[in-house]
Amino acid sequence: MSDLLIVGAALWSDPDAHARVAHRPGERADVLIRDGVIAEIGNLSAPAGVPRLDADGLALLPGLVDLHTHLREPGREDAETIASGSAAAAAGGFTAILAMANTDPVTDTAEAAERVHDRGREVGLADVVPVGAVTKGLAGSELAELALMARSRARVRVFSDDGRCVQDARVMRRALEYIKPFGGIISQHAQDGALAGAAACCHEGEISGRLGLPGWPGAAESVIVARDVQLARHTGSRVHIAHVSTAESVEIIRWAKDQGIAVTAEVTPHHLALGTELVSGYDPTFKVNPPLRPSQDQEALRAALADGTIDAVATDHAPHARQDKEHAFEAAAFGMLGLETAFCVVHDLMVRSGRMTMLDLSRRMSRNPARIAALPGHGQDIAVGHPANLVVVAPDRRVTVDAATSNSLSHNNPWHGMSFTGAVHATILRGRVTAIEGKAHRQ
Amino acid sequence: MARHLISSADLSRSDVEAILDTAASMHDVQRREVKKLPTLRGRTIINFFFEDSTRTRSSFEIAGKWMSADTINLSAKGSSTSKGESLRDTVQTINAMAVDALVIRHNQSGACHQIAGWVDASVINAGDGTHEHPTQALLDAYTLQARLGALDGRHVVIVGDLTHSRVFRSNAITLRTLGARVTVVAPPTLMPAGIASWAQRDGFSWSWDLDEVLATGDAPDAVMMLRVQRERMSGGYFPTAREYTVGYGLTRTRLEGLLHRNPDALILHPGPMNRGLEISPDAADAPASLILDQVSGGLAVRMAVLYHLLAGEGSAA
């Protein structure tokens, strides 16, 4: 049975009006888990036979939720599998991850979605929630079976053609309308294909000019963000902007929220922390879509995450086999790892610097993404009666990232060699410890 | 001098001067009856061309042969991705044959930079995508110096499709290294992103107006016209060839204006030319034109580069 006593952690989650016993954010308490559910909070002594997790000086948060993960199963199991990706997620403090649809075959049917969901349950290290494709085969023209995916046992609510933008405004409009009855949301990869085509691989600016690389102008993102918030307004449906990377997109989202439009947004740790100058050495490890941006964009993203304009941090964890990255920069695959490092980076950059509190972090990395994805049982307050999906973090622990020790099958890790303050100590999924100090624990 | 020649920025002023001095001796060799030097006997140079090139490849090939190196040409057209082989695998296969130098032309920017990190051989960039072409910049400097002497304070104007030009990127660096003043001119659509801060940082000028550059300020000592591909029209970079020529071509009228202000002004073009588009026949064939000198200087400069990267101590020629 999944019983556990967590001793002495500071509890960081939102007070929940419905909880029988609520705590104040940052308050220290012991938490007793019985059968995967939080049974008691307070100054507790261990009942016989219940294992203890000593969390003195550590912090307890609701388990992290990632709205944007690429597992490469089915299709490219050499780069990542649902098992290896789940292990990386558990090591990184995540209890739920949304697996993007751009696998081979694409997740565009109920059957494909259920396979991902079931395999995730079988592995048991994190709840793997499939994202459904918006259009068949991600081709951008005909709607995929959105409602069947929603009705399936995978309970798909988030739809995305990620990797590609839904270019056609009419298709986007129909998709937004169609998902309303079941509370779906479209996560848009905002990239106008005429302004930033397939070759675009570097932020368009002085560095792309000097390096002679095809530029990806910030406007190619913000024109789609502007269009889509208008479509969300027109349809009264929910749109989510994936991996926001520019200050201009942030301005539009801020405006749209002021208008009461149902738009939410995510930012990746790499767009917050890493700048476009990193591509100067043509290292494809730093090639990502959308591209790393200049410092003024990074600063706007940090401010927007702190003030809540950007709702969530999402990793866009994108594992790639080594040979797919060892091409000339333009030909190399887009994407970088992120699950295992997200907490460290965001904690160091945003909390330790004083720009956000630990409570803010738990909202941006757990409560908000869980709500956006309409995930039951995740991102909830630490309160009696709630499922024990939790993460214990060590705010003062110093970590140095080593690409070689990853749980992921891939090594395209842009954080290699960098040090951060703040680490994930243990991850708990329905009362079971799924990872301790970076090592995943299969059942 | 460094082991590789990837970017023109790898070369200090004294490096460039040493190469150009050696090139002058090599140029003398070209005029001998027997052109063979023993300098690189026993060395293997592979000209590895991932993109078509006639002039640059044959120039490197002859340069190597006249210095007694074993030169082998390989072409790997098309992306290696399609064969399932990574660029790293491709070049490491060649590197495993114990070659001394890899002369690389690649259709993608930065490829030579990446390759240099994977191999033991000296890597010489013979043009990478729209990034750089350092030996072209050296031969342009060599050709100009042969006519003008030291380039300090000389004014060179570079005109054309700057966005897609590796010749521009390398020339802007090497000419500045030698103390020349550089002005670059292009229509806004063919001007690289971020040119304003870039130009300021690197100390050159830029303009959208060719006539203003030619008619005001320092009279140019040389004008370098860059090739403009007609396919750029379909990309929406400019509407018609005629409109491009009117705005940015070295027409007969502009040539007359240029020579009126400076009778000794020179004309360069890295080739291949689009006669009638960026350069009129009057300009290409004028006494002021150094276009064929560039080709013969190219050979001498490439011999000099091979010498400095591969030969070690001893006299060049």
Tokens standing for A185?
Answer: 């949301």
pLDDT-flagged residues of chain B (< 50): 314-317
Determine the Cα–Cα distance for residues B146 and B298; give it in Å rounded to an integer.
13
At residue B231, the pLDDT reads 77
How would you classify residue B280: left for phi > 0, otherwise alpha for psi between -120 and 50, otherwise beta? beta
- pLDDT surpasses 70 at A103: yes
Distance separating alpha carbons of residues A332 and B80, to the nearest angstrom: 11
Nearest to B86 among A205, A207, A326 (CB): A326
Residue A356: strand, helix, or coil: coil
- Between positions 379 and 408 of A, the ones with CB within 8 A of B are none
Does residue A294 have a cis peptide bond before it, meaning omega lies within 30 degrees of 0? no
Structural contact between residues A133 and A159, judged by C-beta atoms closer than 8 angstroms: yes
Task: Give this prediction's pTM.
Answer: 0.95
Expressed in angstroms, the distance from the first to the final Cα of chain B is 19
Band (A1; pLDDT cuts 50, 70, 90)? low
Nearest Cα residue in chain B from A213: B109
Vertex B142 angle, CA B138 and B146, to 5°: 170
* pLDDT score, position B82: 56
B201 is catalytic: no
Nearest alpha-carbon partner for B13 in B181, B221, B175: B175
> Rounded to whole angstroms, how far apart are CA atoms A238 and A226?
14
Q: What's the one-letter identity of residue A247? A: A
Q: What is the spatial distance between Cα A59 and Cα A360, in angstroms, rounded to a whole number?
A: 13
Catalytic, A402? Answer no
What ranges in chain B are assigned the alpha helix state H? 13-30, 55-66, 87-95, 111-116, 134-148, 166-177, 195-202, 210-215, 241-248, 252-261, 281-284, 291-306
Neighbours of B275 (CB within 10 A): 14
Q: Among A205, A211, A324, whose Cβ lies nearest the Cβ of B109?
A: A211
A184-200 average pLDDT score: 97
| Residue A211 near chain B (CB below 8 Å) | yes
Contacts of B128 in chain A (CB under 8 A): 212
CA atoms within 13 A on the CB side of B232: 21
* Cα distance from N-terminal residue to C-terminal residue, chain A: 12
Q: Which residue has the tokens 């703040």?
A: A422
Confidence of residue A131 (pLDDT cuts 50, 70, 90): very high
Q: Note the pLDDT tens digit of each residue in A201-246.
A: 999 999 999 999 999 999 999 999 999 999 999 999 999 999 999 9
Asked if omega into A105 is within 30° of 0 (cis), the reply is yes
Q: Within 13 Å, how many C-alpha atoms sit on residue B250's CB side?
A: 34
Residues A234-284: tens digit of each pLDDT: 999 999 999 999 999 999 999 999 999 999 999 999 999 999 999 999 999
**Contact status, residue B23 vs residue B301, Cβ threshold 8 Å:** yes
Q: Is B110 within 8 Å of A205 when comparing Cβ atoms?
A: no
Q: How many cross-chain Cβ pairs, A to B, lie less than 8 Å apart?
A: 87
Distance from CA of B193 to the nearest CA of A (A): 5
In this prediction, residue B80 carries a pLDDT of 54
Give the pLDDT of residue A307.
98
Report which of A214, A222, A243 is spatially closest to residue A336, judged by C-alpha positions. Answer: A243
Residue-wise burial string across A391-423, b where 16 or more C-beta atoms lie within 10 A, e elsewhere: bbbbbebebebebeebbbbbbbbbbbebebebb
**Contacts with A183 (C-beta within 8 Å, 6 or more apart), sequence order:** A157, A238, A374
